[in-house]
Structure 1
């Protein structure tokens, strides 16, 4: 007999995601867990958090494909390889079946459109091509300002140190 509840979990500092899998039977559930999680950790977490007893747990680590350079690199480099962090999945066999609830007819209370738009914006900002474009635009602006200074169209005016000190003093509250 399996003894549940050996490791008490009060406030877990791990993110565990239940993944909807159409091909699994109702008595199975698939989770995405941290790489440091063991089968016993997941079993005790489910027991203490949800009162769920599990029979068998299968786990596998999914390696990610090797990519050219890091996705967060500002300037892409040739012949630099990067492998993203692996993902660990665990499939749990439960004694009672679990049925996913139906999707709501209206997603308005959850602001799904706004969330999707924010996700799309964030995905675009993280791409190296976007960062390169932003860096080029900034470089062009600086080059234009430098040309105007050299041609005498604009006059250089250094910022007085007193203004900077006053600005910093206003921000700091003791």
Structure 2
């Protein structure tokens, strides 16, 4: 009962921007954040994922409707689980794109590259050549070099949504083989 009361007080103060209350909530949910971050297989990326989950926790504090603290832990767990699934899908998609672009540029993945990949390599190179030089540069920067979208936005001097749209269209163009 006392924990609920403390959480309710912290939640009320944290929603008003009190950093000590926000820190207390983050500390209270640290085991959940660690548990979710442990799902990342690459140990070097776990701290980054944990940081993103902490930011997600702060976002959950801001978005939480009402002041009843009893449902807050479930809300946080749902919100962080959603962020984790989004992170996992994004990483998998990024890895697939990076592999395709490496093949397009003539990179070799390993000596035991399977037969099917060898057949597809020329198709992928052909699809990459279909792109305009600007599209090639954007795909290379976003997928291989993994330049953050904010930096790309500054370099291209256009809205982030426009830039991401161009990127998606370039990938679709490659997929269709126009």
TM-score by length of 1: 0.25
Larger radius of gyration: 1
More strand by share: 1
More helix by share: 2
| Greater RCO (Cα-Cα under 8 Å, separation 6 or more) | 1
